[in-house]
Amino acid sequence: MAIAASTCCFSVLTSSVKFCCYSSPQHRLLSSHRTIGSVASNAINHKRRPSKRGSSSSIDKANRDKEGASHYKSPGKSKDERYYSCGDGGERGKAQSIAYKSFGMQSRDKKEHQAEAGNLQEAAFLNAVVKVYCTHTAPDYSLPWQKQRQYTSTGSAFMIGNGKLLTNAHCVEYDTQVKVKRRGDDTKYVAKVLARGVDCDIALLSIENEEFWEGSEPLHFGRLPRLQDAVTVVGYPLGGDTISVTKGVVSRIEVTSYAHGSSDLLGIQIDAAINPGNSGGPAFNDHGECIGVAFQVYRSEEAENIGYVIPTTVVSHFLDDYERNGKYTGFPCLGVLLQKLENPALRACLKVQSNEGVLVRRVEPTSDANNVLKEGDVIVSFDDVHVGCEGTVPFRSNERIAFRYLISQKFAGDVAELGIIRAGSFMKVKVVLNPRVHLVPYHVDGSQPSYIIIAGLVFTPLSEPLIDEECEDSIGLKLLAKARYTLAKFKGEQIVILSQVLANEVNIGYEDMSNQQVLKFNGTRIKNIHHLAYLFDSCKDRYLVFEFEDNYIAVMEREAASASASYILRDYGIPSERSPDLSEPYADSPSDKQVIEHDPLGDSPVSNLEIGLDGLLWA
Catalytic residue IDs: 170, 201, 279
> Which of 384-393 are b and which e, b meaning 16 or more Cβ less than 10 Å from the residue's Cβ?
eeebbbbbbb
Task: Report the amino acid identity of residue 319.
Answer: L
- Judge whether 386 and 406 are in contact, CB under 8 Å: no
Its sign, for the CA torsion 413, 414, 415, 420, is: negative
Plot region of 92 (φ>0 → left; ψ -120 to 50 → alpha; else → beta) = alpha
Give the SS3 label for residue 90: coil
The residue among 540, 156, 157, 160 whose CA lies nearest residue 316 is 160
Quick one: angle between helices 312-325 and 93-102, nearest 10?
A: 50
User: In DSSP terms, which residues pair with 525 in a beta bridge?
Assistant: 520
Calpha distance 450→593 (Å, rounded): 22
Calpha distance 581→446 (Å, rounded): 10
Calpha distance 199→223 (Å, rounded): 22
Task: Report the amino acid identity of residue 241.
Answer: D
- Judge whether 285 and 298 are in contact, CB under 8 Å: no
Plot region of 239 (φ>0 → left; ψ -120 to 50 → alpha; else → beta) = left
Its sign, for the CA torsion 570, 573, 574, 576, is: positive
Calpha distance 340→442 (Å, rounded): 27
The residue among 488, 372, 514, 498 whose CA lies nearest residue 432 is 372
Give the DSSP letter string of 107-123. ---TTTT---GGGGGG-
Calpha distance 512→143 (Å, rounded): 17
Phi, psi of 68 (to 5 degrees): -115, 25
Calpha distance 150→342 (Å, rounded): 52
Our CA dihedral for 225, 270, 227, 388, rounded to 10 degrees, sits at -90
